[in-house]
Amino acid sequence: MSKNLQAVKRRFEIIGNTPALDNALSTAVRVANTDLTVLITGESGVGKEVFSKIIHSLSARKHSKFMAINCGAIPEGTINSELFGHEKGAFTGASAERKGYFETVNSGTIFLDEIGEMPLDTQAYLLRVLESGEFIRVGSSVTKSTDVRVVAATNVDLLERIRKGKFREDLYYRLNTVPIHVPALKERRNDINLLFRKFTVDFAEKYRTTPIKLDERAELIFENYSWPGNIRELKNVAEQLSVLSEEKMITADILLEKLPNLLKRNLPASLRGEEQDSFQEREILYKLLFDMKNDLNDLKSLVFELINNNDLSISNQQLNQLKRPGYSESYQVYNQETPTRPNFNAEEHNRETNGSVSIEDHRPILLDSQSSQEYENSEIIEESLKLADMEKEMILKALKKHNGKRKEAAKDLDISERTLYRKIKGYDIQI
């Protein structure tokens, strides 16, 4: 790491040696002395505003004003007036003319945080400012000019918002002249304990106490926690432990007693757009598994009958594996320990077979030598148990049943027609 980068870290109190952090900081330093528009991305609480201040402080505009504006905190009805100003009588309550932020911060830097929450009409005004430096106050017809550098930031995926029609594509590419991604704390595992020690020292000075420390196990808990609130959450935890803990050496037990939520891993949930399709796909797999279970039970029943009817030898352990719920204990199978003819409960068997087979029909099934030889020479072909193959087979059956009509087949499979179309394409099924 260069000495220049180290000096920037000391000046702005940036803690950490992660390569991703160094790359973001290096980009901010390189672009600072230009007038290029910068788009800073990253999760909430990673310190995007600090990067905007670094860019302003190292630029030629450092002696002019710097203003940070949270676009998500300004009501939609007043944001145009706040940014670009308004004339007297432009709307109810406009008792006097007012300069907007772009006019007030002329020759300075404006940091637009949460740019993804900006209304569409305001985005059009902002695009004009970025392209020509011109804007019009609300209620006015006079064009004004401004020389403002814009640094924007967002914690949402702007491309996704473009697909949903909530963000202008031309504005995105105008803002994204120089992209800077600030890594989340979970991407900076080695920096977590360095940041924590820095915060504890600061709070010890603030509250005039001895700084707290973490033992080895407590540090591991910190490193493995996902930190959804990032640096902001870590700082709050450091202050909370500094104030509430009587012990200065924080063990894992003390840590979990004070903050049991640190054991949560915050695993990712399914996306809303895919949740319904995933549920329907699972339903198909469940049906296949239930069908397999029924087929297996039927096969067990057939083997059970063959054993009883042919006086075959079988151990009690194997017998227990063949039994299924509903079979009577009256079935006794001939085995080595009990060399007697099996006792057959006709009444129980008639209930199992709905009375279709009587005790007189319950004769042994004999296999002659020729049939036995043919069986021994036969080839056993195992049925594929892959879920993908079974799913493809179910789709083929449904399409065949409904003569290739996807809508009816999807309804029979209990999935959406869009999901069925995607699977037909994925399995390369020819209709």
3-state secondary structure 345-411: CHHHHHHHCCCCCCCCCCCCCCCCHHHHHHHHHCCCCCCCCCHHHHHHHHHHHHHHHCCCCHHHHHH
Q: In the chain, what are the domains?
A: 3-183 (3.40.50.300), 189-263 (1.10.8.60), 298-377 (no CATH), 387-426 (1.10.10)
d(CA 115, CA 40): 10
Report long-range pairs for 347-355 (Cβ below 8 Å, ≥24 apart).
Answer: 352/326, 352/327, 352/328
d(CA 239, CA 259): 12
* Contact in structure between 48 and 182 (CB atoms under 8 Å): yes
Joined tokens for residue 72? 């998500």
Q: What pLDDT score was predicted for residue 382?
A: 53
Specify the pTM. 0.61
* Contact in structure between 288 and 281 (CB atoms under 8 Å): no
Q: What pLDDT score was predicted for residue 271?
A: 41
Which residues are within 8 A (CB) of 87 and not within 5 positions of it... i.e. 6 or more apart? 94, 97, 137, 138, 139, 140
Geometric angle at alpha carbon 106, from 83 and 58, rounded to 5°? 110
d(CA 168, CA 161): 9
Sign of CA dihedral 42, 44, 47, 50: positive
d(CA 292, CA 286): 10
Q: What pLDDT score was predicted for residue 415?
A: 85
Geometric angle at alpha carbon 60, from 57 and 66, rounded to 5°? 50
Q: What pLDDT score was predicted for residue 251?
A: 92
The pLDDT profile of the chain, 431 residues, written as one tens digit per residue, is 577 899 999 999 999 999 999 999 999 999 999 999 999 999 999 999 999 999 999 999 999 999 999 999 999 889 999 999 999 988 888 889 999 999 999 999 999 999 999 999 999 999 999 999 999 999 999 999 999 999 999 999 999 999 999 999 999 999 999 999 999 999 999 999 999 999 999 999 999 999 999 999 999 999 999 999 999 999 999 999 999 888 999 999 999 888 888 876 544 444 444 444 555 566 666 667 767 777 787 787 777 777 777 766 666 666 666 554 444 444 444 444 444 444 444 444 444 445 444 434 444 444 444 544 554 555 555 555 566 777 888 888 888 888 888 888 888 888 888 788 788 888 888 77
Q: What pLDDT score was predicted for residue 389?
A: 76
d(CA 87, CA 164): 34
d(CA 54, CA 56): 5
β-pairing verdict for 109-113 and 249-250 = unpaired
